[in-house]
């Protein structure tokens, strides 16, 4: 009974206590990739393909199921003494030498191709997560930039209003600064929307869409040695796409060899127990059976199977050659883009950004002492914003190019044949 009276007090106390929500942990770029590799459902689906390929390999290693049979022969009467004979036994089919081994070899290459596909998916996912992470950082940097410029514009609006009220300024300056102020506020709203969109994209790749994100890394320029031959050698030796293409070609070749082995005969071997009844006399003895299924030489069916398997092998080989050329060209193009973006970044850092900063400071001081009007000041603000946003865009593109090189370009092409 006492609990009945105390329960409202306990409930009220619980409602009065503030609910403490766990703050999102700081997430670095490397940790984001690790989370995606562990939780992304699409990557898990690719892993199932390896399991399916291993299942096909297990099937290739097995034999056809044995057949249990019962044969009987009856006389005109249904009496048990008039039944002529019965045979109970088991029968097993055996393929010609080489058919099973060729089928197993094709299944082995299928497993290798499936594993290469999973590795390709891992590198592709890692590239997309790193790019999405940088896009979130870029959106936040743009948001901070617009806030800073809006603050400078608010100051310019205040100065222009004070001057106009004191009779020392023009109303057109007030209108210009207020118009720019309104435009920046709208741009800031768009920037907030862009932040949300990019965060949702990153969360989806991490496998938990809607969860709050708090990123710890910053957008920084990291110089990378862009030696073409080193990157191309790494592509040739480690590319999952090239391994996948090679596995698919060898699988198709082994499948063709398995079909060619089907020219040989197939054996059926059986053993059983025979019971013979003759007017009440019963005799039990062992019975056996051997049969051979021999394909006709030059039969349309066998020739058609071989022609289809050979055409598939040639098709995959030709498509793989075309894909290899595309991979090589795309990777070289990405390497050229990394060179160009690196040169642009150096120009931004060495001249454009320092000049924009100096011009901004000079324009602010000049406007305070009435050396320039509001139009010139706003032009300087626009130039400063454009320079900073241009630098962020080039920096993100450069980091994306480096990401593609480090992940062997797996996010640049498709290889499914």
163 domain residue, yes or no: yes
For residue 249, the domain's CATH number is 1.20.1600.10
Task: At 207, give phi and psi (nearest 5°).
Answer: 90, 10
Number of folded domains that form the chain:
1
Give the integer Cα–Cα distance in Å for 401 and 339: 9
pLDDT at 2 over 80: no
Is 295 strand, coil or helix?
Answer: coil
44-71 mean pLDDT:
84
135 domain residue, yes or no: yes
129 domain residue, yes or no: yes
Strands lying side by side in the sheet with 67-73: 67-73, 85-94, 266-278, 281-293
376 domain residue, yes or no: yes
pLDDT at 164: 86
Give the integer Cα–Cα distance in Å for 268 and 255: 24
100 domain residue, yes or no: yes
- Residue 155, domain extent: 24-406
pLDDT at 15: 41
Name the nearest CA neighbour of 273 among 89, 81, 132, 69: 89
pLDDT tens readout for residues 191-244: 999 999 999 999 999 988 766 788 999 999 988 888 899 999 999 999 999 999
pLDDT at 165: 87
Give the integer Cα–Cα distance in Å for 92 and 290: 10
pLDDT at 79: 56
Neighbours of 380 (CB within 10 A): 20
109 domain residue, yes or no: yes
Pairing of strands 26-27, 214-215: parallel
Q: 219 exposed, middle or buried (CB, 10 Å; 0-12, 13-18, 19+)? A: middle
Percent of the chain with pLDDT over 70: 88
pLDDT tens readout for residues 117-155: 999 999 999 999 999 999 999 999 999 999 999 999 999
3 domain residue, yes or no: no
Angle among Cα 415, 416, 417 to the nearest 5 degrees reads 110
pLDDT tens readout for residues 364-402: 999 988 888 899 999 999 999 999 999 999 999 999 999
156 domain residue, yes or no: yes
Please give the DSSP secondary-structure letter assigned to residue 299. Answer: -
pLDDT at 13: 46
């Amino acid at each position: 009974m006492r609990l009945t009276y105390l329960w409202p007090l306990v409930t009220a106390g619980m409602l009065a206590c503030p609910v403490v929500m766990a703050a999102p942990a700081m997430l670095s770029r490397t940790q984001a990739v690790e989370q995606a590799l562990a939780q992304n459902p699409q990557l898990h689906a690719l892993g199932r393909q390896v399991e399916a390929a291993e299942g096909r390999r297990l099937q290739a290693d097995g034999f056809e199921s044995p057949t249990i049979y019962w044969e009987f022969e009856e006389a005109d009467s249904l009496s048990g003494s008039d039944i002529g004979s019965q045979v109970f036994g088991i029968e097993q089919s055996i393929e010609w030498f080489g058919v099973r081994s060729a089928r197993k070899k094709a299944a082995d290459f299928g497993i290798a191709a499936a594993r290469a596909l999973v590795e390709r998916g891992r590198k592709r996912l890692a590239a997309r997560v790193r790019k999405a992470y940088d896009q979130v950082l870029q959106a936040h940097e743009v948001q901070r930039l617009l806030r800073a410029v809006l603050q400078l514009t608010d100051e310019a609006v205040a100065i222009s209003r004070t001057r106009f009220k004191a009779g020392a300024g023009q109303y057109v300056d007030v209108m210009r600064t207020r118009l720019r102020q309104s435009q920046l506020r709208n741009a800031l709203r768009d920037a907030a929307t862009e932040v949300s969109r990019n965060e949702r994209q990153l969360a989806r790749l991490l496998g938990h869409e809607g969860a709050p994100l708090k990123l710890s890394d910053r957008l920084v320029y990291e110089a990378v040695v862009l030696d073409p031959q080193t990157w191309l050698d790494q592509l040739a030796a480690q590319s999952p796409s090239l391994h996948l293409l090679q596995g698919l070609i060898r699988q198709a070749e082994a499948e063709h060899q398995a079909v060619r082995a089907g020219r040989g005969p197939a054996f059926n071997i059986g053993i059983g127990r025979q019971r013979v009844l003759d007017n009440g006399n019963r005799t039990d003895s062992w019975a056996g059976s051997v049969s051979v299924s021999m394909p006709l030489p030059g039969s349309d069916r066998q020739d058609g199977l071989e022609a289809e398997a050979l055409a598939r092998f040639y098709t995959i080989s030709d498509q793989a050659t075309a894909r290899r050329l595309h991979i090589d060209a795309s990777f070289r193009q990405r390497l050229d883009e990394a060179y160009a973006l690196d040169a642009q970044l150096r120009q931004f850092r060495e001249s454009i950004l320092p000049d924009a900063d100096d011009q901004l400071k000079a324009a602010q001081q000049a406007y305070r002492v009435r050396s320039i009007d509001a139009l010139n000041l706003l032009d300087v603000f626009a130039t400063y914003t454009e320079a900073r946003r241009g630098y962020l865009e080039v920096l993100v593109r450069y980091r994306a190019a480096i990401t593609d090189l480090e992940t062997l370009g797996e996010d640049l092409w498709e290889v499914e044949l």
